């Protein structure tokens, strides 16, 4: 098994700032917008983006929730892996809000399909957008594309994209593992 660095910590930081600016372009004051990080790994991207938006761009009252999609997945009893649930913390109503889903890697699109169903438990959003740090194009099983993408990657199915964060692995870095 070999691994190649796709993005260094510095590059991740630049990309996160660009994504934050793109969000501001579309959502200005975030008055009717809520960010929703998809558990488990989307939560790191979401928290970082929130930090940048609040501290560096002075966005006030930014709402961030974390959504777990385990019970909405379509591979329950079909996967050899045991599904591990995570905490959902959405303490606001999403009814008529502009929801931005945030995840680290967009691969088959099935997690996003599950998230689209799961978010309905909290109301009917006015619209849903998708932000993803890495977009593995050519791997989609469903017609789902991101509105905001950090870096597009061409990776074959046998390869794996791994995103490490300072918070859980000690450094920000994205690997392509062959």
Which DSSP letter does residue 12 get? H
How near is the Cβ of 20 to another protein at its closest, in Å? 29
Select the span of 22-30, 112-120, 126-134, 140-148 touching another protein (CB under 8 A).
Answer: 112-120
List the x/- string, 38-77, binding to another protein by CB under 8 A: ------------------------------x-xxxx--xx
- Residue 88 near another protein by CB under 8 A: yes
Cis peptide before 130 (omega within 30 of 0): no
Q: Is 83 in the site for another protein (CB under 8 A)?
A: yes
CB 92 within 8 Å of CB 63: yes
Distance CA 37, CA 165 (A): 15
Residue closer to another protein by CB (options 14, 85) is: 85
Instruction: Give yes or no for a contact between 33 and 97, defined as CB atoms under 8 angstroms apart.
Output: yes
Question: From edge to edge, which strands make up the β-sheet containing 173-177?
Answer: 3-7, 173-177, 160-164
Size of the site for another protein (CB under 8 A): 21
CA 176 to chain centre: 18
- Window 149-178: residues binding another protein (CB under 8 A): none
Given the rule CB under 8 A, which residues bind another protein? 68, 70-73, 76-77, 82-88, 93, 117-118, 120-123
């Amino acid at each position: 098994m070999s691994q190649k660095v796709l993005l260094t910590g510095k590059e991740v930081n630049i990309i996160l700032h660009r994504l934050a600016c793109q969000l501001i372009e579309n959502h200005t004051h975030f008055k009717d917008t809520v960010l929703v990080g998809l558990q488990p790994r989307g939560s790191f991207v979401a928290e970082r983006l929130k930090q940048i938006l609040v501290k560096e761009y002075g966005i006030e009252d930014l709402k961030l929730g974390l959504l777990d999609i385990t019970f909405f997945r379509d591979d329950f009893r079909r996967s050899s892996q045991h599904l591990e649930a995570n905490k959902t913390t959405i303490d606001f109503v999403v009814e008529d809000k502009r929801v931005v889903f945030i995840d680290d890697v967009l691969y088959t699109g099935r997690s996003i399909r599950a998230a689209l169903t799961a978010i309905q438990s909290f109301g009917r959003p006015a619209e849903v957008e998708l932000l993803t740090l890495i977009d593995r194009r050519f791997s989609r099983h469903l017609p789902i594309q991101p509105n905001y993408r950090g870096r597009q990657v061409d990776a074959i199915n046998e390869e794996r994209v791994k995103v490490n964060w300072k918070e859980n692995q000690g450094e920000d870095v994205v690997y392509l593992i062959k």
